[in-house]
Amino acid sequence: MLRARLRVSDQLGLVFGALADPTRRQMLGTLMRQGSTSVPALTAELPITRQAVAKHLSALAGAGLVERAPGGSGREIHYQLRPGALEPAASWIREADQAWAGRLDRLKSSLESPR
Amino acid sequence: MLRARLRVSDQLGLVFGALADPTRRQMLGTLMRQGSTSVPALTAELPITRQAVAKHLSALAGAGLVERAPGGSGREIHYQLRPGALEPAASWIREADQAWAGRLDRLKSSLESPR
DNA sequence: CCTTTCGACAACTAGTTGGTTGTCAGATCA
DNA sequence: TGATCTGACAACCAACTAGTTGTCGAAAGG
């Protein structure tokens, strides 16, 4: 019956999913270096169309990684990093890394104290 | 002409992509708790078929997060976490988080020293 | 005023994903 | 031996993704 696959607002999944695309990571890189950017600016440094850039930006916004920059005097809409947005992902990785290492330690000690 | 989209071995992308799926994160959780597991064991705790589990496992293996456990006496193939596999992702996030915070600090200080 | 630029949609395409069913050979076990 | 379980494929399907082209109205700029 092909299960529903509701995907009920999997925040962590959205963040990791957004980070999975190299183009999106590059956009974030630009944002980190320059603080704020816009669709036309990103289009200038990427080999894709304005529309594709806009789609990626809205994916990043959907994951909460990016938001509209206030001000916006000109006609271009500017975007900036959203404070704390990386935190859930960072802490998942941190916890996993710890459990990972713990697992390996236990494995190692079980190898060191055999039969 | 619909660009090639070669995706030339984007290791980081593979890892983040693997982590983007909740089912896969759950499998990793099991692995962290139990150290080693197998397709039948995972199938027992998930609402999906054995074949789907195998596919997820091979995605995790493709991202280098998981590997076949040595030994394997019985007929089930066991899998374990691959040491250090999380490192690239962890360090990307760490660096990004730093740049992120730096950006925000500079933003704040520019707000604190106005006109 | 006319041209360009920008944002917002919409429609389309090829390829990928997450899942299914089905099949089959080999290992395990009663 | 015969039933069952396992892993490994393959085919299929619906939904999603990353990109495209095209259109349109509003804002800026000459």
pLDDT band with cut points at 50, 70 and 90 for residue B72: low
Q: How many CB atoms lie within 10 A of CB A88?
A: 15
E strands, chain A, are 37-38, 66-68, 78-81
pLDDT at B74: 76
Quick check: B17 and A17 CB within 8 A?
yes
Q: What value, to the nearest 5°, has the Cα angle with vertex A6 and ends A5 and A11?
A: 115
Both tokens of residue B110?
A: 């520019």
Q: Does residue B105 belong to the interface with chain A, where contact is any CB pair within 8 Å?
A: no
Q: What pLDDT is stored for residue A100 in this prediction?
A: 86
The pLDDT value given to residue B70 = 87
Give me the residues paired with residue B82 across strands.
none
Tokens of A86: 């990386």
Q: Cα–Cα distance between B83 and B75 in angstroms, integer?
A: 25
Question: Which of B17, B32, B47 is opposite residue A100, by nearest beta carbon?
Answer: B32
- How confident is the model over B52-61, as pLDDT tens digits? 999 999 999 9
Residue B7 banded pLDDT, cuts 50, 70, 90: low
A56 touches strand D (CB under 7 A): yes
B18 vs chain A: nearest CA distance in angstroms? 8
- Sorting pLDDT into bands at 50, 70 and 90, what band is B106? low
Nearest residue to D22 via alpha carbon and C1': A51
Among residues 37-96 of chain B, which lie with CB inside 8 Å of chain A?
47, 80-81, 83, 85-86, 89-90, 92-94, 96
pLDDT greater than 50 at residue B114:
no
Classify residue B27 by burial, with Cβ atoms within 10 Å: 0-12, 13-18, 19+.
buried
Q: Which residues contact A21 (CB under 8 A, 6 or more apart)?
A: A56, A59, B13
**DSSP state string for B16-74:** HHHHT-HHHHHHHHHHHHHS-EEHHHHHHHSSS-HHHHHHHHHHHHHTTSEEEPS---S
Q: Lowest mean pLDDT of A17-21, A77-81, B32-36, B97-101, name the range.
A: B97-101
Contacts of A19 in chain B (CB under 8 A): 16, 92
Would you say the pTM of this structure is higher than 0.85?
Answer: yes
Instruction: Compute the mean pLDDT over every residue in chain B, rounded to the nearest whole number.
Output: 87
Closest by CA to B55, choosing from B70, B34, B78, B39, is B39
- Does pLDDT of A114 surpass 50? no
Q: Residue B4: which pLDDT band, with cuts at 50, 70 and 90?
A: very low
Residue with the bigger pLDDT between B99 and B7: it is B99
**Partners of residue B104 in chain A, C-beta under 8 Å:** 81, 83
Flag whether pLDDT at A108 surpasses 80.
Answer: no
Cα R_g (chain A), whole angstroms: 20
Radius of gyration of chain B (CA): 20
Distance CA A82, CA A92 (A): 18
Rounded to an integer, what distance in angstroms lies between the CA atom of residue A37 and that of residue A70?
A: 12
Report the amino acid identity of residue B69: A
Mean pLDDT of A72-98: 92
